[in-house]
A and B are shown apart, each in its own frame.
Chain A
Amino acid sequence: MNKNTSNVHEKTEKSDFLTMDRRTFLKTAGLLGASVFLGTYKTELVSALALSETKILWLHGAECTGCTESLLNGGDPDVLVALQALNAKLAYHETLLAGQGIFVDGKPANTSELNSEILVDELIAEGNYILVVEGAIPNGPEGSGRFFMVGNRTFKELFAKAAGNATAILAVGTCAAYGGINSASSAIAELTDYRGVAFTKNNSYGGMLQELGINKPVINIPGCPSHPDWMLLTLSAVVLGKIRIPGDLPSVLDSYGRPKAYFDEDVHDECPRHDYYEDEEFDTEIGGHKCLFKLGCKGKHANADCSIRKWNGGTSMCIQAGSPCIACVEPGFPDSARPFYMQGGGSSDGGESDGGESDGEKSDRRRGDDGDSSDVDSYDDGSRRDSYYRRGDD
């Protein structure tokens, strides 16, 4: 626990969790991590049961299920206990629930208890749910969305229906947030035409919502996969009203729609190997323990708190395991970080190199003055609102 963390911890131990203001909540939650946070505030969370039930409808687009796997890695309390504490019901989730689509001679059969297609339609009709999307959404071929069909309809159609009636949308993982690996440059990227929910790569007009003409508030929680703390804490903040939607979004999110609480740090600044960088000691072969900058580390261009929070219950992180950061939380991933094991690359706008800065150059410089200013403007509230959030603010 670093200095900042312990200060916040001390301060908030005396605070009333439920009446904590948004800023303190996010800072506390952000610094402590889901495990400590939900543990510390268990009592208060239990009284949250007085809250009305929040339904969560979780859709799987073009994905690898890695974000669901990661969600299940949430710890102390684990995800199922946390959901219970928040009085949040995972009303629909293809990987976890009992039902499946059942059609007899083309017509949906049985009831919503066993038929997930009936269930999802009933839930959408009832409304009043938070929609979580994992995975990207194909628009191709030719705008039909038929590269992904499910339950006799396109996923694009299901998404449109679910998004249209949602209270708010969380796009978890880089695929749902920005298209991710599905949108990587390739000969058929145009044909498949994969979209994120609100963005495609760094284009805030390129998401599927815009394509469908649907206007809904969206929070992006990227990462490949996303971190369980990022997902659970954001969900907690929304459920408990600590982030009011849509009013708070412009001040809470950065210009790529990510909660600043988790995507404000960059991986480089708190990197466990940062001292080697300062001392200009670089690994040039894998398997060492020094700075990975010359092995292609993109930590300087990755806005995430991995270095503080780490992964899998604080066990480790990519750099700690000798592997360069590939900036998987950035809108341009993976193109913006390729080639992974070479210096250069690392811009957030999908493929542009930052010009290959020299070793150790300006080791203390921060975002905002290192050349790729498109994504790195100041963090003052109000100064980095782009048109996407103005659209979301109505």
Chain B
Amino acid sequence: MVNVTVDPLTRIEGHLRLSTEINGEGVITDARSSCLLFRGFERILQNQDPRDAALLTQRICGVCPTSHSLAAANALDQLFGVAESVPKDALVARNINQALNTIASHATHIYVLWGPDLANPAYRDVLAPLGETGTSVWKELVGRFAPISYSIGGTPVPAGSSYLAAIPEKKRLHEAIAVIGGKMPHQVTSYPGGCTYRPNSADIGKLSSYYFQVMDFVSKYTLRVPFDTWIENTYRASSPQKAVNFLLEHLQGLVDNSTSGSNSNNFAREAGWGDMEFYAAFGSELIGEKLLGLPASLKHDRHGGYGDPSKINFLAYGAFYRPENGDGYDPNSPAGDRFQTSGVVTGNLEYKNFDASKITESIAHSFYEGSEELHPSEGETNPIGDPAEIRYDRGPDSRYTWAKAPRYDGIPCEVGPLSRLFAMKEPLVTGLARTFKENGYSPANTYTRMIARIQETAIIANELLKWVTEDYDPNGKIAVHTDLSMAKDSQGMGLWEAPRGALGHWVSTDSNSKVVSYQPVVPSTWNFSPRDSAGTPGPAEQALIGIKINAVENSLGVDYSNPVNILHVGRSYDPCIACAVHTIDLTGKNAPGILRIV
């Protein structure tokens, strides 16, 4: 048995360690996920003005700050008793803000954080024996996705075309957020009862312009089929099977064109292979090799899945208010109430309604004192203070991370685009998941997780245009009155979705309207949770156990020094570790005087 540890897993937000035990066949037999940083600004809101939460909590994460500030705004809406009266146009403005943040975050993940692994030299070696086809595919991988300051075997490799083109788009999307949010990162307009800024008609014009510029990038790089055609035949398909059939027919046309005649082995964008088409065909063994007849694939559908469907759920809290519901919203996010609905989808793809009271957190394997399983509204955080106890090398029975282990009804949950699209029964991703399941693959895997992120970007972009041009009224009301006295002896729950998954904030106050407790439960805590008190591994841990570590199913033998599949699986969740470690936890139980330092 060999231990292979990736530490730090870079190209993510924050600091993550993935430690694996690997047998002689190069198969992972055990995996542990460790969040390495305790920022420890717990309690900074305790006894403070609750309104500060929307600005302060977004400092948890500079990649998804809008999500935190809106989860906080939702919690504060309820705390101040105004959730039912937040004006429709404020809700639409929040939607626009979040949509832009999600698109920017997804684009950054796909192209800057995740994409560079496709240019790992292991793929050059695996593809080399395939002759001209292999060379052409490698040329596309490295030519599109190589990162900056990269070299292979001492030879500098220029940054990829998609990588380079994506960075200005992220910048453009941040500018768009600044139009309605003041600045980005850390936009400033989220506030209980509405927004601090009412976008005017000139702003709306600017947003539309930004939208079309970004869509220009999408049509040049990401998706070569016309955007409307894509949406119509996938997202709006009348059944999951029809969405999958459309994808397969579209890809089959490209494959036929690129495997015969003068276009032979031309997989370039100019030949119709946008990044989405390219990855959709070559990323999957089932889709690429078995259904489309390609000679090879990256086999990303063979890792990142779950061996036991009874030990995993796909969870979504729901996000994006529905403008057609008018003013106000239900803080409990009941099924169907939001554009992206809440829901719990089981490992066997059965949908159930979400109930926030079923969330608990275990700290049995985390660097905290105590071991109770508590609901977030009563959660506590007592960090271990003995340096000798903060160790990552003592195996799965020890405490080995700063992340807690959230569970829904006792079951670990994957959160993120895949879970959201499962919950909203999005035809393409649901259809792909079923296809994988019927063919003996895990419906969730690295490939479907990435396809879901790309597809979600398209769906939200499509809806964004409607919010901007149809739903938002620049003459509407942007906020309702609030004052501090309305937050006396109150509680609030903010259920929302960050780009990387379900995000909840819980707050309560005393008779002076000062914060008694503030507790976020964030996406990467779900995805990168450690074992719970029953010993069940977290989602990413499960997704690593049982997989082969090297490119394309160890096809060139076992190489412990380049465990590219660990990198793919880990990064496929779009980890955000600054979020994952409980950063702000303010409970009455942990008043300064009773903090225990062992």
Q: Which residues of A contact B (CB under 8 A)?
A: 60, 62-70, 72-75, 78-80, 89-91, 93-106, 109-110, 113-114, 116-117, 138, 140-142, 144, 146-152, 155, 180-189, 191-192, 194, 224-225, 285-287, 311-313, 315-323, 326, 328, 334, 338-342
Question: What 8 new A-B contacts, CB under 8 Å, besides A67-B62, A152-B7, A155-B37?
Answer: A65-B63, A102-B563, A187-B595, A194-B40, A321-B196, A323-B191, A341-B52, A342-B49
| Nearest CB of A to B34, in Å | 9
- List the one stretch of B163-171, B277-285, B296-304, B497-505 in contact with chain A: B163-171
Residues of B near A146 (CB, < 8 A) are 387, 390
Complex: A194 Cα to B42 Cα, angstroms: 13
Looking across the interface, which residue of chain B has its beta carbon closest to that of A192?
Answer: B40
Task: Let me know if B2 and A311 touch, CB within 8 A.
Answer: no
B308 interfacial by beta-carbon distance below 8 Å? no
Complex: A146 Cα to B388 Cα, angstroms: 9
| Nearest CB of A to B113, in Å | 7
Task: Let me know if A73 and B595 touch, CB within 8 A.
Answer: no
Within 8 A of A (CB), among B121-166: 121, 146-153, 159, 164
Task: Let me know if B38 and A326 touch, CB within 8 A.
Answer: no
- List the one stretch of B11-19, B254-262, B337-345, B439-447 in contact with chain A: B11-19
Task: Let me know if B578 and A317 touch, CB within 8 A.
Answer: no
Residues of B near A184 (CB, < 8 A) are 41, 44
A65-B61 contact, Cβ under 8 Å, with A146-B390, A315-B178: yes
- List the one stretch of B181-189, B264-272, B412-420 in contact with chain A: B181-189
Within 8 A of A (CB), among B89-142: 108, 112-113, 116, 119-121
| Nearest CB of A to B392, in Å | 7
Residues of B near A147 (CB, < 8 A) are 37-38, 40, 383, 390
Within 8 A of A (CB), among B161-219: 164, 167-168, 170-171, 174-175, 177-189, 191, 193-198
Within 8 A of A (CB), among B360-392: 383, 385-387, 390, 392
Complex: A105 Cα to B4 Cα, angstroms: 6
Residues of B near A315 (CB, < 8 A) are 175, 178-179, 183
Complex: A91 Cα to B108 Cα, angstroms: 20
Complex: A317 Cα to B188 Cα, angstroms: 9
A149-B194 contact, Cβ under 8 Å, with A100-B10, A100-B567: no
Complex: A279 Cα to B363 Cα, angstroms: 56
Looking across the interface, which residue of chain A has its beta carbon closest to that of B193?
Answer: A286
Looking across the interface, which residue of chain B has its beta carbon closest to that of A285?
Answer: B481
Q: Among the interface residues A73, A117, A152, which one has the most CB atoms of the partner chain B within 10 A?
A: A73
B478 interfacial by beta-carbon distance below 8 Å? yes
Complex: A154 Cα to B541 Cα, angstroms: 24
Interface string of B379-413 (1 = CB under 8 A from A): 00001011100101000000000000000000000
| Nearest CB of B to A196, in Å | 14
Complex: A337 Cα to B181 Cα, angstroms: 20
Task: Let me know if B3 and A109 touch, CB within 8 A.
Answer: no
Complex: A323 Cα to B55 Cα, angstroms: 10
Please report whether the interface of chain B is mostly helix, strand, loop or mixed according to DSSP.
loop
Task: Let me know if B194 and A72 touch, CB within 8 A.
Answer: no
| Nearest CB of A to B588, in Å | 12
| Nearest CB of A to B347, in Å | 29
B592 interfacial by beta-carbon distance below 8 Å? yes
Sample of 21 A–B contacts (CB below 8 Å): A66-B59, A72-B167, A95-B11, A95-B12, A101-B5, A106-B3, A140-B40, A147-B37, A147-B383, A147-B390, A155-B37, A180-B59, A186-B43, A191-B385, A311-B183, A312-B183, A313-B171, A322-B189, A322-B196, A338-B52, A340-B51
Complex: A79 Cα to B592 Cα, angstroms: 44
| Nearest CB of B to A226, in Å | 10
B227 interfacial by beta-carbon distance below 8 Å? no
Q: Which residues of B contact A (CB under 8 A)?
A: 2-15, 36-44, 46, 48-49, 51-52, 55-56, 59-63, 65, 108, 112-113, 116, 119-121, 146-153, 159, 164, 167-168, 170-171, 174-175, 177-189, 191, 193-198, 383, 385-387, 390, 392, 478-479, 481, 560-563, 567, 578, 590-592, 595, 597
Residues of B near A62 (CB, < 8 A) are 37, 39, 578
A323-B61 contact, Cβ under 8 Å, with A116-B10, A315-B178: no
Task: Let me know if A63 and B578 touch, CB within 8 A.
Answer: yes
Task: Let me know if A187 and B43 touch, CB within 8 A.
Answer: yes
Task: Let me know if B36 and A148 touch, CB within 8 A.
Answer: yes
Task: Let me know if A72 and B170 touch, CB within 8 A.
Answer: yes
| Nearest CB of B to A381, in Å | 32
Task: Let me know if A78 and B13 touch, CB within 8 A.
Answer: no
Task: Let me know if A317 and B383 touch, CB within 8 A.
Answer: no
Complex: A104 Cα to B590 Cα, angstroms: 40
Residues of A near B383 (CB, < 8 A) are 141, 147, 188, 191-192
Contact of A65 among B48, B175, B386, B578 (CB under 8 A): B578
Task: Let me know if B40 and A286 touch, CB within 8 A.
Answer: no
Looking across the interface, which residue of chain A has its beta carbon closest to that of B187?
Answer: A321
Complex: A323 Cα to B56 Cα, angstroms: 13
| Nearest CB of B to A115, in Å | 8
Complex: A222 Cα to B112 Cα, angstroms: 25
Task: Let me know if A98 and B40 touch, CB within 8 A.
Answer: no
Contact of B2 among A96, A105, A144, A186 (CB under 8 A): A105
Residues of B near A341 (CB, < 8 A) are 49, 51-52
Task: Let me know if B65 and A66 touch, CB within 8 A.
Answer: yes
| Nearest CB of B to A184, in Å | 4
Contact of A98 among B52, B116, B197 (CB under 8 A): B116
| Nearest CB of A to B15, in Å | 5
Complex: A287 Cα to B186 Cα, angstroms: 18
A65-B13 contact, Cβ under 8 Å, with A187-B592, A224-B186, A323-B182: yes
Residues of B near A60 (CB, < 8 A) are 15
Task: Let me know if A104 and B560 touch, CB within 8 A.
Answer: yes
| Nearest CB of B to A350, in Å | 13
Contact of B197 among A63, A68, A183, A287 (CB under 8 A): A287
Task: Let me know if B167 and A80 touch, CB within 8 A.
Answer: yes
Complex: A99 Cα to B119 Cα, angstroms: 11
A141-B49 contact, Cβ under 8 Å, with A191-B597, A225-B185, A285-B479: no
Task: Let me know if A148 and B15 touch, CB within 8 A.
Answer: yes
A68-B62 contact, Cβ under 8 Å, with A80-B164, A341-B51: yes
Residues of A near B171 (CB, < 8 A) are 72-75, 78, 312-313
Looking across the interface, which residue of chain B has its beta carbon closest to that of A341?
Answer: B51
Contact of A318 among B9, B183, B481 (CB under 8 A): B183
Looking across the interface, which residue of chain A has its beta carbon closest to that of B152?
Answer: A113
A96-B178 contact, Cβ under 8 Å, with A102-B563, A148-B15: no
Complex: A62 Cα to B43 Cα, angstroms: 17
Residues of A near B180 (CB, < 8 A) are 321
Task: Let me know if B147 and A97 touch, CB within 8 A.
Answer: yes
Task: Let me know if B148 and A97 touch, CB within 8 A.
Answer: yes
Complex: A224 Cα to B187 Cα, angstroms: 11
Residues of B near A183 (CB, < 8 A) are 41
| Nearest CB of B to A293, in Å | 15
